[in-house]
């Protein structure tokens, strides 16, 4: 399956110290290559590369957890990074 390159822009209450490490661990578990391009308490941009189905799983995982953040929206756009 060919690899896609997408940027996930995650918005919400993301200020917990656990969120960025959780995002990177979750991406690694799914076998996705990823780089965080921007991070603050309200927005995280992560560029991902991997199968579209696994990027879909990453999006769903971010919407559902971790418990100490509140994800309001995730926008996906093509990315030329990675």
Long-range contacts formed by 70-74: CB under 8 A, 24+ apart: 70/12, 70/13, 70/14, 71/10, 71/11, 71/12, 71/14, 72/11, 72/12, 72/13, 73/10, 73/11, 73/12, 74/8, 74/9, 74/10, 74/11
Q: Which fold has domain 4-78?
A: Alpha-Beta Plaits (3.30.70)
Which three-class secondary structure state does DSSP give residue 42?
coil
- Residue 16 confidence (pLDDT) above 90: no
Rounded to whole angstroms, the Cα distance separating 15 from 28 reads: 21
Binning pLDDT at 50, 70 and 90, where does residue 81 land?
low
Domain boundaries, the chain: 4-78
The tens digit of pLDDT for each residue in 27-69 reads 999 999 999 999 999 999 999 999 999 999 999 999 998 889 9
What global pTM score does this model have? 0.91
Residue, of 1 and 31, whose pLDDT is higher: 31
């Amino acid at each position: 399956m060919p690899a896609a390159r997408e940027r996930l822009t995650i918005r919400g209450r993301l200020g917990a110290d656990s969120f960025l490490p959780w995002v990177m661990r979750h991406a690694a578990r799914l076998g996705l290559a990823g780089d965080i391009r921007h991070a603050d308490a309200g927005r995280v941009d992560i560029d991902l590369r991997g199968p579209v189905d696994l990027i879909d799983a990453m999006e769903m995982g971010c919407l559902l957890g971790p418990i100490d953040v509140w994800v309001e929206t995730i926008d996906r756009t093509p990315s030329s990074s990675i």
